[in-house]
Amino acid sequence: MALIPHLKSLGQDVDAVLARDPAARSRLEVVFLYPGFHAVLWHRVASRLWRSGWRFLARLVATWSRFVTGIEIHPGAKIGRGFFIDHGHGVVIGETTEIGDNVTLYQGVTLGGTSLHQGKRHPTLGNDVIVGAGAKVLGPIMLGDGVRVGSNAVVTKDVASGTVVVGIPAKPVAQKRATADFIAYGTPGDGDPAGAALRGLMEQVELLRARVEELERHRPPADLASEKDSSSEEQARRIDR
The closest alpha carbon to 39, from 77, 1, 96, belongs to 77
Q: Please report whether residue 162 resides in a domain.
A: yes
Beta bridge partners, 112, equal 138
Asked if residue 164 and residue 207 are part of one domain, the reply reads no
Neighbours of 61 (CB within 10 A): 21
> Which residues span the domain enclosing 165?
7-189
Domain boundary among 146, 168, 189: 189
What is the C-alpha to C-alpha distance for residues 180 and 149, in angstroms, rounded to an integer? 15
Domain membership of residue 128 (yes or no) is yes
3-class SS at 146? coil
* pTM (predicted TM-score): 0.71
Q: What is the pLDDT of residues 159-182, one digit of tens each?
A: 999 899 988 888 888 665 545 566
Contact 43, 77 (CB under 8 A): yes
Tell me the average pLDDT across 188-215. Answer: 71
What CATH number is given to the structural domain containing 182? 2.160.10.10
CA angle 56, 58, 61 (to 5 degrees): 110
Quick one: average pLDDT of 108-114? 93
**Is the CB of residue 16 less than 8 Å from the CB of residue 102?**
yes
Give 138-147 pLDDT, tens digit per residue.
999 999 999 9
Q: Is residue 126, in this structure, part of any structural domain at all?
A: yes
